[in-house]
Structure 1
Amino acid sequence: MRLFGKAEKKNGWLAIGLTADGVQAAAIERRTGGLPKVLLAASYPGRADEAGASLARLGKDLHANRYQCTTLLGAGGYQLLMVEAPNVPEAEMKTALGWRVKDMIDFPLEQATIDMALLPTANGSNQARQAFAVAARNSVLMPHQRLFADSKIALTAIDIGEMAQRNISALLEPEGRGLALLAFDADGGLLTVSYQSELYLARRIDITLNQLLDPDHERLHQLYDRITLELQRSLDHFERQFSFVTVAKLVLSPVGEGDLCTYLTSNLYLPVEQLDLAKVLDLSAAPELQEPAQQAGFLRTLGAALRERAST
């Protein structure tokens, strides 16, 4: 099974996310001439040790067998690395990439599943082609797959948060320009930059959503300072590495009742907007996603459900 590979659509994708407080699922239908429509967004609360029972109920309630199913690995279950793509035929690329990253991962190559996404090169550029390599421990993947198999849910693919967030970002991109998207959850912050629907940057920020809900004003603004500095460094590095991409703006996924969006607007050179999924998705069949907090909570599961026929 590929981690975030290609697959033919049948009846759309059902994305299933395992969270700290339960299981959630989303299905999206892409339509010609209209916004992608969210067919369902459902949550099944429960403890982590109850995930199997929750999955079995979800599979039955949502008729999971009618969809191609994907799930998301937790942030600690894999490593995502950007490397120079080996100069080999494409058929040999994955093997060659594995050898290139073997000294960069913290477990033996023979215990890993490797997948990749090649980045396009700029027209007329002599710059070496870059690639994202994702390496996951087989000891993490196998129990994950077994959990779904035991729940009678057949997985077609396994996604990662960076690629799922890229799928949301791709909907928001202005024509001919890149877009930065920043979101926070229980695992921390994730900054991505996409351009022409490709992921070009992914940076983790070691600040969780729970920390950003702290009512203490002083502690909160210390966190805002750290986020701002990380964004400035990451975006400056991105501009040096991919000078042919102009980032139009930063879009921030909703974060509680704080004023992070206002703070970033005052301290970054980029325009900053708060994410509103209603602008890029038809939410008429999922009215609960009208609430900003619910949009934030479902962000990457929705992104995983946006997989396309020829998408990595």
Structure 2
Amino acid sequence: MRLFKRAKKKDGWLAVAIGRDGVAITSVKRAPEAKPLVHFAQFFPGNSGVETIEKAGREGQAGVRHCTTLLTGGDYQILNVEAPNVPPDEVKTAVRWRLKDILDFPAAEATIDVLDIALDANSRAQQSVFVVAAKNSIIAPRQKLFLDAKVELTAIDIPEMAQRNVSAMLEPEGRGIAMLSFGDDGGLLTVSYRGELYLSRRFDVTLAQLLEPDHDRKHASFDKITLELQRSLDHFERQYSFISVAKLILGPSAVTGLDEYLSSNLYTPVETLNLAALFDLSRTPELADLAQQQRFFLAIGAALRDGEGA
């Protein structure tokens, strides 16, 4: 199975995000000249076994929707590598050969996909691609889980692409958006421009650390995030000088104080996202709570695959 797969038209996407404490599912319905409607958002606490996925598929009407599931940060590697100078139909083979010396597991045991990184016509940057690689020993059980639950899995997503789907909605004309979100497996920084992903960085700071009641430990995490952001955004500016980053958007969460802290320490404007600004939440009033928005954030992003070609 490809990680990013072309699919026939159905009634949108059902996104299934498997977390440590349960399974979050959601579906987003697009409408012309209106905010996308979050059709439903449900959470099934506990284990993510066959019975839970079967119930999630039933509640989410998986039979009339494409279904995608999200990997978590430790399930795959995303690498920025030089684009091989080969015909398009040979790119994957060439990339897999190159990964032999990069991955920390045999490339022959990997499921891979390749994402182009568009360059400005006048850019002198080396043409590169994102390569997503996951062990077959991770992909196969995930596929089997959905197969056993009788939920047809159309695609397997990664958080970077789900987050890109949301940040693309926020891009000012001709400028890029940096977005930083946090979860159980740490922080995720992305930069999108013209709807494409250009940067992906993982931060070793979890949501639990940011919700730490101890002031000193919490602000130590703030300091670490600030330093990593400065380094990442400076590097990005040097690598992609044709992209002007308009602002840094923090993903929704119950974390307090981080936006003010970053605003006082970064030259980039900082804002915190409330999904109500982008989506119609009239059918999901529970998403008025920012902690609930954080729980469903990446699933909602993955459900925005509707309308994408790949």
Instruction: Tell me the SS of whatever aligns to 2:301.
Output: helix
- For residues 189-200 of structure 1, the aligned pairs below 5 Å read 189-200=187-198
Checking the alignment, whether the CA contact within 8 Å between 1:25 and 1:41 is kept in structure 2 is yes
Which residue of structure 2 lines up, in the alignment, with residue 32 of structure 1? 32
More displaced stretch, 298-307 vs 248-257: 248-257
Partner Cα distance (2:242, 2:196) in 1: 14
User: Does residue 1:81 correspond to 2:79, yes or no?
Assistant: yes
SS in 2 for 1:146: helix
CA distance in structure 1 between the partners assigned to 2:127 and 2:78 by the alignment: 17
Q: Deviation per CA, 1:89-136, whole angstroms, max 9, x where unpaired?
A: 111111111112221111111111110110111023343321100011
Could you tell me how far 1:145 is from its partner in structure 2?
Answer: 0.5
2:278 to 277, 280, 289: 280
SS for the counterpart of 1:9 is coil
Q: In 2 relative to 1, CA 82–257 (structure 1 residues): closer, same or farther, beyond 3 Å?
A: closer
Matched residue of 2:264: which SS? helix
- Output the CA distance in 2 between the equivalents of 1:301 and 1:62: 13
The residue aligned with 1:4 is 4
Q: 1:224 aligns with which of 197, 222, 227?
A: 222
RMSD: 1.2
SS state at 1:300 partner = helix
TM-score for the superposition, normalised by structure 2: 0.97
Letter in 2 for 1:35: K
Partner of 2:52: 54
The SS at the match of 2:7 is coil
Partner of 1:247: 245
Q: Deviations over 1:237-268 (max 9, x none)?
A: 00000000000000112342421111011111
Identity of aligned residues (%): 54
Question: Which whole-Å deviations, capped at 9, do the CAs of 1:139-162 have from their partners, x for residues lacking one?
Answer: 110001101111110100000011
State the Cα deviation string for residues 153-211 of structure 1 (Å, max 9, x = none).
01000000111111111111111100011100000000110000101001000011011
Secondary structure in 1 matching 2:198: strand
Q: Distance in 2 between matches of 1:62 and 1:226?
A: 39
2:135 and 2:265 mapped to 1: Cα distance?
39
**Secondary structure, in 3 states, of the residue corresponding to 2:113?**
strand
Distance 1:40 1:119 in 2: 33
What is the aligned counterpart of 1:296 among 294, 298, 309? 294
Partner of 2:212: 214
Number of residue pairs aligned between Structure 1 and Structure 2: 310
Residue aligning to 2:98: 100
In the alignment, what sits opposite 2:20?
20
Note closer, same or farther for the CA distance 1:55–1:287 as it changes in structure 2 (3 Å cut). Answer: same
Give the structure 1 partner of residue 45 of structure 2. 45
Deviation, structure 1 residue 10: 1.4
Q: Aligned with 1:38: secondary structure?
A: strand
Equivalent residue, structure 1, for 2:235: 237
**3-state secondary structure, aligned to 2:305:** coil
Deviation of the 1:311 alpha carbon = 4.1
Structure 2 SS opposite 1:233: helix
- Inter-CA distance 288–231: structure 2 relative to 1 (3 Å threshold): same
Task: Give the CA deviation at 1:62.
Answer: 2.2
Alignment of 1:132-281 (within 5 A): 132-281=130-279
Partner SS state of residue 207, structure 2: coil
Residues 7, 310 of structure 1: 8 Å contact kept: no
Deviates more, 1:198-207 or 1:91-100: 91-100
Moved more, 138-147 or 56-65: 56-65
Query: Could you tell me the TM-score, scaled by structure 1's length?
Result: 0.96
Matches of 2:268 and 2:28, distance apart in 1: 31
Mapped to 2, the partners of 1:151 and 1:308 lie a distance apart of 23
Note the residue ranges of structure 1 that are not aligned, 5 or more in a row.
none
State how far apart, in whole Å, the 2-side matches of 1:64 and 1:173 are. Answer: 31
Cα contact 2:57–2:151 (8 A) shared by 1: yes
Asked if 2 retains the 8 angstrom alpha-carbon contact of 1:212 and 1:256, the reply is: no
